[in-house]
Amino acid sequence: MSATRPITIMSYIQKVIVAGTGGSIGPAITSALHAANFTVSVLFRKSSTSTYPSYVNVLNTDYSPPSLLKAFQGQDAVVGAVGSMGTLEQIKMIDAAAEVGVKRFISSDVCHLVKESEENKNLTWTYVASGFFLDWALLEFPAFGFVMKAKTATIYDSGTAPVTGTTRASVGTAIANVLKHLAETANRTVRTCTAVVTQNDILLAFEEATEAKWNVTKADIKDVLADAKEALKKQ
């Protein structure tokens, strides 16, 4: 595997199309790309109820190879944000991107991208590794330990284990920066991190911000994992 082969052609990126914009990360990516002066398009299923700002070009697709080829024609870069459940669709997107001459594909499906880029020297790839989405976990994932409206916190074990996280806005900015630095980011993983914090750090920050003591419950992470395994067995 030659993931570090030299890049002989580095072209300017202007037109970027994003797939998977209906999820939690898509809007942050399109916003950051627009702020960085890229021309932004999105793939859109007819069954989708998502809405987009006026600066976004909406291109319909059913994720069949012909519709992807049509959507990717003339695009300089593709950002695949379809998540793990869309792996098969992402593979089809990579194949279509290579066929029509897309220069850069940003994706989580590194294995297929490496294979395709080795066969098609004009297609390069970047994998943006961000860890979990910190703002999403704090606002929308109570299992992370914090419920802001109720001012409650569940602290696992001692609460001192460091956690690496990135905000969705920071992921979007990282992707925009990748596309501005093509040679430096070609065919490699780029890591981004907003903060390394502990649960105790977060609790202290929340209590200071709200000027209130939060209701804190202690939990043993081993017990939590055991309960989760039992729940999975019953599904």
The whole-angstrom separation of Cα 118 and Cα 110 is 12
Q: What is the pLDDT of residue 1?
A: 43
Confidence of residue 20 (pLDDT cuts 50, 70, 90): confident
Confidence of residue 173 (pLDDT cuts 50, 70, 90): very high
32-65 as b/e, with b when 16 or more CB fall inside 10 Å? bbbebebbbbbbbeeeeeeebeeebeebebebee
Q: What is the pLDDT of residue 4?
A: 46
7 pLDDT exceeds 90?
no
Residue type, 225: L
Convert the pLDDT of each residue in 124-161 to its tens digit.
999 999 888 999 999 999 999 999 999 999 999 999 99
Q: Domains, the chain, ranges and CATH?
A: 15-130+168-192 (3.40.50.720), 134-163+196-233 (no CATH)
96 pLDDT exceeds 80?
yes
The stretch 73-82 carries a mean pLDDT of: 93
The stretch 198-213 carries a mean pLDDT of: 97
Which element (helix H / strand E) includes 230? helix 221-234
Closest CA to 21 of 81, 63, 75, 72: 81
Convert the pLDDT of each residue in 22-37 to its tens digit.
778 899 999 999 999 9
